[in-house]
Amino acid sequence: MGPGLDLFAAVAPEGAWTVSQVTRRARALVEGGLEPLWVRGEISGFKAWQSGHWYFTLRDRGAQIRCVMFQKDNRRLPTAPADGLQVFVFARPTVWEEKGEFRLTVADLLSTEAGGLWQLAFEKAKAALAKDGLLDPARKRPLPPYPLRIALVTSPDGAALRDIIAVAGRRWPVAELLVVPTRVQGDGAEDEICAALGLVCRIEGLDLVIIGRGGGSREDLWTFNHERVARAVAALPVPVVSAVGHETDVTLCDLVADLRAPTPSAAAESATPDRGDVLAELDHLGVRLARALGGRSGRMAERLARGFDRLTGALERRLERHGHELAGLAGRLDALSPLKILDRGYAVARDRQGRVLKHVAQFTDGLPFRLRVTDGDVAARAGES
Amino acid sequence: MAPREPLSFAQQLDRLEEIVRRLESQDLNVDLDEALKLFEEGVERLREARERLTAAEAQVKQVLADRAGNFKVEDFDA
């Protein structure tokens, strides 16, 4: 017993302190004496309880402190830290009276490694998606060339929605735009997005989905890195264009979508054809249609002309054949000519008047007549022999 | 939700393209009568497609679900 220690000055009015009194006093002293502070250390003995609270130890070479991070605080983090991870915690030192334990109540936790917890969570979810083949490029579907009904899954009052409506409305007012409103950041936003995507699956006649939001901090964009959101996007029955944040932000939602656009405006642009272009295409088809019919009737006329030629040819050939027949006929007629008979040695007798003398009675005695033989006339006279 | 057209715009364009190609082909099985019929259909489809493009006025609606899981479509004021 040291000389400076007055044993009885430490007696409480009741005689002795209770355990609870001591721990309460200790807690008041610790909380009063140590403001909330950032502490650096390594995670060990991490355990997430059913309640959602996290318990772990933070240590360095020389010491360790028990830590708790309640569910209301840890739900903002992308994932639970693994043992061995170097972290900064923002914490309030306290005494846990029930166990008489000095500990830190952690309000925030950051990995000291590049990208830290966010990167860890991202890689973990990405690996899970890849394992199920959801990142396979072969899964990517072509966008419909002329979408008539497009669902827009985004915040109803964000700049992203205004941009998409402006661009799609200018390029392709033919399409009906269906806004499926959802919060895109903050606690529970991922649940809302999943619900909105579930609703999208039930819209009839849908051609295309655009999902996205404008730029924001990594925490703001994180909703689109939730594995559940990515899976809901991958499960959509129609092609999806994803545009989350700016060019440099790539989320899991972007990776599973059929097309990733750098911005919401660009998403609307790649999702729609330009009406002017399509009208020009129609005009071109019209010209081809008319030209094709013209060409075809031209060919028809040609065929008719060829047919006509063949017909006249046939007629001519036919006439020619008939000509030969006529010539033959003429030959036959010629053969019947009396002159031909004279050729064969017959003669025709005619009187002075040229009448043909065919009967004996016509040849009266002394009647002069002429005999026509094949090469001329001879004078003759009938007489008694 | 309005009932959909029996032929989508894309199908309409495909049919049009097919008609033009058949007319352009040297296929002589298509006689003049049939060619005229194809041409008439082509003109009709062109007219329809053009109407669909030009009559359209950008429409923005919003889809909302109630607690029972039913959903309704209303006009959306951007």
Q: End of a domain among A230, A253, A276?
A: A276
pLDDT tens digit string along A83-128?
988 888 999 999 999 999 999 999 988 877 756 777 778 888 888 9
| Predicted local distance difference test score (pLDDT) of residue B3 | 39
- Measured between alpha carbons, how far is A243 from A225 in angstroms, rounded to an integer? 13
What pLDDT is stored for residue A27 in this prediction?
A: 94
Q: How many domains does chain A have?
A: 3
**Cβ atoms within 10 Å, residue A236:** 22
A19, A95 in Cβ contact below 8 A?
no
For chain A, the distance separating the N- and C-terminal CA atoms, rounded to the nearest angstrom, is: 213
Contact A297 B50 (CB under 8 A): no
Domain check: are A170 and A82 in the same one?
Answer: no
Residues A177 and A90 in one domain: no
Given the DSSP bridges, would you call strands A208-213 and A240-244 parallel, antiparallel or unpaired?
parallel
The single-letter code of the amino acid at A28 is: A
Which of A200, A210, A281, A293 is best to mutate for the B interface (most B CBs within 10 A)? A293
Nearest by CB to B20, from A179, A202, A288: name it: A288
Best B32, B43, B54 member to test A by mutation, with max A CBs in 10 Å, is B32
Beta-carbon separation of B24 and A295 below 8 A: yes
Q: Is residue A159 part of a domain?
A: yes
Partner residue opposite B46 with nearest CB, options A162, A282, A296: A282
A93 CA: distance to closest CA in chain B (Å):
44
Phi, psi for A156 (deg, rounded to 5): -70, -15
Distance from CA of B14 to the nearest CA of A (A): 11
Q: Do A208 and A263 fall into the same domain?
A: yes
**Contacting residues of A for B1, CB less than 8 Å apart:** 203-205
Residues A78, A225 contacting (CB under 8 angstroms): yes
| Residue A145 counted as domain residue | no
Nearest C-alpha of chain B: how many angstroms from A323? 38
Residue A173 lies in a domain: yes
Asked if the Cβ–Cβ distance from A293 to B36 is below 8 Å, we say yes
Whether A9 maps to a domain, the answer reads no
Instruction: Count CB-CB contacts under 10 A for residue A13.
Output: 4
**Residues B30, A296: C-beta atoms closer than 8 Å:** yes
Range(s) of the domain holding residue A351: 339-381
pLDDT at A261: 94
Instruction: Report the pLDDT value the prediction gives residue A338, as an integer from 0 to 100.
Output: 66
Cα separation, A360 vs A342, whole angstroms? 20
> Does residue A335 surpass a pLDDT of 80?
no
In a domain, A321, yes or no: no
Domain boundaries, chain B: 9-75
- What does the alpha-carbon distance between residue A226 and residue A242 come to, in Å, rounded to a whole number? 14
Give the domain CATH number at A267: 3.40.50
Does the residue A130 lie in any domain?
no
ipTM of the complex: 0.80
pLDDT, average across residues A219-225: 87
| pLDDT digit string, tens, across residues A270-316 | 999 999 999 999 999 888 888 888 777 777 677 767 777 777 777 77
Residue type, A87: V
CATH number at residue A47: 2.40.50.140
Which of A228, A249, A276 lies at the terminal end of a domain, its last residue?
A: A276
Residue A164 lies inside a defined structural domain of this protein: yes
Last residue of a domain, one of A113, A137, A164: A113
The CA distances from residue A264 to A317, B36, B48, in Å, are 79, 47, 32
State the Cα–Cα distance between residues A212 and A215, nearest whole angstrom. Answer: 10
Clarify whether residues A165 and A269 are in a common domain: yes
